[in-house]
Structure 1
Amino acid sequence: MTTNNGIISQSSPYSVGETIDRLVAVLQAKNITIFARIDQQVEAEKVGLSLRPIQLLLFGSPKAGTPLMVAEPTIALDLPLKVVAWEAANDKVWLSYNDAQYLKQRFSLSDELVKNIDVIAPLIHQALL
């Protein structure tokens, strides 16, 4: 696992698609809403461009996110939560997401509020087992 500029990246032993599939299953089991899944490789191909496998997943809970947006409306730039699974040039797959502590600092969130979004790491751990 690496952290760079508030982004945490964790390697995945699965393909990009399977990594996102596994995370979706964990999120759905926890009744967390999946707002969108974007296959950016497919979208690039639609315009004649080439891109390594990469998929973006937007998910969250209005119950958890709304209090954050009430306190700091601009956090809506980073909500719903997002993860991106991507394949590096060496064929290694990574799953990357914003560090909740980075978002806490960026938006001056209280410890109590940041708990609403500090959920990604355990969910990813469960998905990658």
Structure 2
Amino acid sequence: MRIIRLLTLVTLIATTSSVFAQGKPDNGLINVQSEHNFARTRSLLQKALDDKGMRTMTRVWHSQSASMIGVDLRSTELFVFGNSKVGSPLMVCEQLIAIDLPQKALVWVDEEDVTWVSYNDPAYLQQRHQVEGCDEYFTKISGALAAISKAATQ
């Protein structure tokens, strides 16, 4: 029985190490694998943002900027977006959450040519800033981000 527990623990550690090696540790990010390539995913993400009434403030195409200085970076683009009807009340609850607003989503390609959409977990932001009394806004944000990432990746 003790050997089985030890083997289970070793397997768990090996699996966890593999996840960390892929750059996807549990650090407050939600990573959603896309069924599409990079170009299609970023196009679908923008459409999903528009459809949800989100304002896209900017898009930062990191890989394109990197190529301008001779750095080879896999396709990576950051979308910065938000909705003042949700973000502003959160800042009233805890003004310092503004450092993490507006919302961001990263479309990126990993070393195995798989495209991902990653974003900050609203629960992580709630905990990070110790926000109390604004649960309904975090629920709205969680639902919206899940729907947007699903629309972009499936």
Q: Same fold (TM over 0.5)?
A: yes
Q: Any conservation in 1 of the 2:34–2:152 contact (CA below 8 Å)? A: no
Q: Any conservation in 2 of the 1:17–1:55 contact (CA below 8 Å)? A: no
Tell whether 2:138 aligns with 1:114. Answer: yes
Aligned counterpart for 1:72 among listed residues 91, 94, 105: 94
Deviation at 1:113, TM superposition (A): 3.2
Distance 1:117 1:26 in 2: 14
Deviation at 1:3, TM superposition (A): 6.5
- Of Structure 1 and Structure 2, the greater helix share is in 2
TM-score by length of 2: 0.77
Distance 1:127 1:88 in 2: 17
Say which one has the larger Rg.
2
Paired letter, 2:36: Y
Aligned residue in 1 for 2:151:
126
Aligned residue in 2 for 1:7:
29
Q: Any conservation in 1 of the 2:31–2:117 contact (CA below 8 Å)? A: yes
1:1-43 alpha-carbon deviations (Å, 9 max, x no partner): x761111111112222321210110111121111111110011
1:40-88 alpha-carbon deviations (Å, 9 max, x no partner): 0011011221101001001110111011112212111111111101111
Alignment of 1:15-94 (within 5 A): 15-94=37-116
TM-score by length of 1: 0.90
Unaligned runs of 5+ in 1: none
Segments of 4+ in structure 1 off by > 3 A? none
> What is the Cα-based RMSD across aligned positions, in Å?
1.6
State the aligned residue count.
Answer: 128
Aligned residue in 2 for 1:95:
117
